[in-house]
Amino acid sequence: MNDVALSLQGVGLSYRKLLSPSRSAFNALHDVSFDVLRGETLGIIGKNGAGKSTLMKVIAGIVQPDTGRVVAHVDRVQLLSLQVGFMQELTGRENVILSSLLLGMRRKDVEQKMEQIIAFAELADFIDKPLRVYSSGMRARLGFAISCQADPDLLIIDEAFGVGDMDFRKKSRAVIEQRMKTMRSFVLVSHSESMLMEYCERCVWLDGGTVRAIGKTSDVIRSYAAG
């Protein structure tokens, strides 16, 4: 049994336009290496433009780095993205199926979990109406209920993970906190030092596309605050 869920090895990525006359490139990530362990919640902190969102996309397998490797030892690595692939014209129920299929679930499993999803989203009366009549809060609830069911092995969370009104925010937070106690791994990307202190034992400080520090959250945050 390997303790490492996912490992980044010397990852580098630069943005350059294909066929662009200038060869100038913007280095978004340079030689980034660290491991995400099984069952841990790893924090990532860094200023705007430090390469956090590019890093998230590399971890989630959305883009391939130019140099280095991302080695995943678990099956499903996903960004927590709500309302994936939602279509305005479809009903809530149809969107549940479409979105869940995109998130990697099988059709028959979605059908089985349908009632659970509807109950969690608190949308019993609206589920067969087209999405365009939903309020933004209703959409957010439905989106969260679906991604809860997807349950990947490694989930990357960007900033706050509560959605909807006060009550639903509590409920959604509770689900994620519950998951954090299992062997699933999380990567939490945040500006909020208090949030990282609360959830993460280890933290990575990303600065200018490179890893400035990695280690115990309190230590990393202290040096981050010192600049």
Partner 1 sequence: MVFGGCLLMIRQYFELLTYRALAELKRDSSGMYLGMLWWVLEPVLYMLVFYVVFGVGLKKGGGDFALYLLCGLVPWKWIDSTVRTSSGAIIASAGLMRQLYFPKWLLPGYVILANTYKFLIIFFLLVVFLLALGVSPSASWVWLPAVFILNLLFVASLSLVASAFVPLIPDLRYVVSYGMTMLFFMSGIFFSVSELGEPVKSWLLWLPTVLIIDAYRSVLLYDQTPHLSAMLHILFPSLLLFAFGAFCLARLDRYYPRVVG
Chain contacts with partner 1 (rule: CB under 8 A): 15, 17-19, 57, 60-64, 78-79, 81, 84-85, 87, 89-90, 94, 97-98, 101-104, 106-107, 130
Closer CB to partner 1, residue 1 or residue 225?
Answer: 1
210 vs 185: CA distance, rounded Å = 22
Closer CB to partner 1, residue 53 or residue 210?
Answer: 53
| Side-chain-facing half-sphere of 74: CA atoms under 13 Å | 25
**38 near 3, Cβ under 8 Å?**
yes
Closer CB to partner 1, residue 57 or residue 212?
Answer: 57
Angle CA 199–77–189, to nearest 5: 35
**Mode of pairing for the β-strands spanning 185-189 and 154-158:** parallel
196 vs 43: CA distance, rounded Å = 6
**153 near 75, Cβ under 8 Å?**
yes
Q: Give the shortest CB-225-to-partner 1 separation in angstroms.
A: 31
Closer CB to partner 1, residue 97 or residue 213?
Answer: 97
Edge-first strand listing for the sheet containing 77-79: 77-79, 154-158, 185-189, 41-45, 202-207, 210-216
Q: Give the shortest CB-132-to-partner 1 separation in angstroms.
A: 9
Closer CB to partner 1, residue 126 or residue 224?
Answer: 126
Closer CB to partner 1, residue 101 or residue 175?
Answer: 101
List of residues 6+ apart from 76 with CB closer than 8 A = 104, 150, 152, 153, 154
Closer CB to partner 1, residue 79 or residue 221?
Answer: 79
Q: Give the shortest CB-101-to-partner 1 separation in angstroms.
A: 4
Q: Give the shortest CB-79-to-partner 1 separation in angstroms.
A: 6
Q: Give the shortest CB-223-to-partner 1 separation in angstroms.
A: 31
Q: How far separated are the first and last CA of the chain, in Å rounded?
A: 38
Q: Give the shortest CB-77-to-partner 1 separation in angstroms.
A: 9
Q: Give the shortest CB-87-to-partner 1 separation in angstroms.
A: 6
98 vs 126: CA distance, rounded Å = 17
Distance of CA 65 to the CA centre of its chain: 18
